[in-house]
């Protein structure tokens, strides 16, 4: 016959919430998230996450290069971490199943490069054979380096993580979404779930420090002019089809259009002219064409043309020719003397086309 179930007296084994055992405190610390998701952004259709992290204390093995040009002995550092100190306890680890490699001072020519293999911890009370490093808090851009990301960003299924930093992928993703790499923090992190090493592929993330780029904009807050341009582009499909006129320009040459900014320069111009009279016989454009065609023959170079045509503020047309020095005379065969007054001179004026 079975014995009756005894009522359990919980009082002797219980504890007051005011005096929790240390193991409970450690469990609560490790279960609390160390970073906060700010937003998810996209680059080449791959999601990147902007997270906010506090100052993080890493415990592990850290070595620096002997000078500002060479690498540290990374193999020796990894051997010390994985073999020599493998059985040495790291106290109060925050994420015991995860470990990281930190590239320190890469991109800073004034400091030696360093490499650290470590885990996050909440205390500085560690075995003195370990090294400690504090990762500065702030915004970080992270990417899950999985098969989809590898294919989209490198067109290969398996990509070594260092390529994400060396090829500037995270930096490009930041810049496209209104951020930039933080110039005062030279730390890059490879974060690995090492308990998944036996069942590849394991989960891993790449991190870089970022800040908001004051000179950029976020796609969520586009300037109104860009919204107007997008709306105009969307309306093109609603318009009646336009039949292009026959062109004498070869097809492969049609996209060779240069957009340039002219610096301040000296220029002889035709003066503004409107309507059909602008190109009428004896008009300003014809007179100017005859003048600059003759003057052009004095040039020693033919690297770029010096004549430009634009629409002045009052409308119509205006033709100009950039000169090194203002001509003392304008010898144009067939142009009447009083027609020279129709040519005006722009001296050291900036012309925007």
Does the pLDDT value for residue 131 go beyond 90?
yes
Residues 171 and 81 in one domain: yes
C-alpha distance from residue 89 to each of 29, 93, 96, 126 (Å)? 18, 9, 11, 8
Q: What is the pLDDT of residue 286?
A: 84
Average pLDDT, rounded, for the chain: 78
Proportion of the chain above pLDDT 90, given as a percent: 43
Distance from C-alpha of 62 to C-alpha of 232, rounded to nearest angstrom? 56
Residue 80 lies in a domain: yes
How many domains in the chain? Answer: 2
Domain shared by 183 and 80, yes or no = yes
Q: How confident is residue 280, by pLDDT bands cut at 50, 70 and 90? A: confident
Residue 70 belongs to domain spanning: 22-212
The pLDDT tens digits of the residues spanning 135-168 come to: 999 999 999 999 999 999 999 988 888 889 988 9
Assess whether 156 and 296 both reside in one domain. Answer: no
Indicate whether 22 pLDDT > 60: no
DSSP for 9-63 reads --TTT---GGG--HHHHHHHHHHS-SSEEEEEEEETTEEEEEEEE--EEEEEEEE
Instruction: Return the top range by mean pLDDT from 64-73, 278-287, 327-336.
Output: 64-73
237 band by pLDDT with thresholds 50, 70 and 90: low
Rounded to 10 degrees, what is the CA torsion of 52, 163, 59, 90? 110
* 138: helix, strand or coil: strand
Which of the four pLDDT bands, split at 50, 70 and 90, describes residue 265?
Answer: confident
pLDDT score recorded for residue 206: 95
Based on the fold, state whether residues 161 and 274 are members of the same structural domain.
no
Q: Are residues 31 and 168 in the same domain?
A: yes
195 and 304 part of one domain: no
Identify the band that residue 116 occupies on the pLDDT scale cut at 50, 70 and 90.
very high
At residue 241 the predicted structure's pLDDT band, cuts being 50, 70 and 90, is low
Does residue 250 fall inside a structural domain?
no
Q: Taking 60 as the threshold, does the pLDDT of residue 98 lie above it?
A: yes
- Predicted local distance difference test score (pLDDT) of residue 292: 83
Residue 344 pLDDT grade (very low, low, confident, very high; cuts 50, 70, 90)? very low
Same domain, 263 and 324: yes
Question: Would the CA dihedral through 54, 58, 64, 70 be positive or negative?
Answer: negative
pLDDT at residue 336 greater than cutoff 50: no
pLDDT at 350 over 70: no
Q: Are 263 and 342 contained in the same domain?
A: yes
Pick 329 or 223 by higher pLDDT.
329
């Amino acid at each position: 016959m079975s014995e009756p179930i005894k009522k359990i007296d919980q009082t002797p084994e219980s504890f007051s919430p005011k005096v929790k055992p240390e193991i409970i405190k450690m469990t609560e610390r490790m279960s609390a998230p160390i970073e906060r998701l700010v937003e998810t952004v996209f680059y080449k259709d791959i999601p990147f996450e902007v997270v906010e992290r506090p100052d993080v204390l890493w415990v592990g093995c850290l070595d620096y290069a002997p000078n500002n040009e060479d690498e540290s002995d990374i193999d020796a550092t990894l051997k010390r971490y994985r073999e020599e100190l493998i059985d040495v306890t790291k106290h109060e680890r925050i994420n015991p199943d995860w470990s990281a490699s930190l590239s320190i001072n890469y991109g800073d020519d004034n400091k030696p490069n360093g490499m650290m293999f470590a885990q996050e911890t909440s205390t500085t009370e560690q075995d003195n054979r370990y090294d400690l490093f504090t990762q500065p808090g702030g915004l970080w851009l992270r990417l899950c380096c999985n098969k989809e990301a590898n294919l989209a960003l490198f067109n290969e299924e398996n990509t070594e993580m260092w390529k994400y930093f060396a090829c500037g992928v995270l930096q490009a993703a930041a810049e496209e979404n209104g951020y930039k790499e933080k110039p005062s923090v030279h730390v890059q992190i490879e974060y690995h779930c090492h308990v998944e090493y036996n069942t590849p592929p394991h989960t891993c993330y790449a991190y870089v420090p970022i800040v908001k780029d004051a000179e950029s904009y976020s796609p969520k807050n586009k300037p109104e002019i860009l919204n107007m341009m997008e709306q105009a582009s969307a309306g093109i499909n609603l318009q009646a089809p336009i039949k292009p006129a026959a062109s004498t320009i070869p097809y492969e040459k049609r996209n060779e259009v240069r957009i340039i900014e002219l610096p301040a320069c000296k220029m002889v111009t035709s003066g503004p002219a409107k309507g059909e009279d602008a190109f009428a016989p004896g008009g300003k454009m014809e007179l100017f064409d005859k003048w600059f065609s003759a003057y052009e023959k004095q040039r020693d170079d033919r690297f770029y043309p010096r004549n430009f045509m634009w629409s002045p503020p009052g409308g119509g047309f205006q033709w100009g020719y950039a000169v090194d020095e203002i001509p003392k005379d304008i010898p144009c065969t067939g142009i009447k003397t009083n027609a020279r007054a129709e040519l005006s001179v722009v001296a050291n004026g900036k012309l925007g086309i």
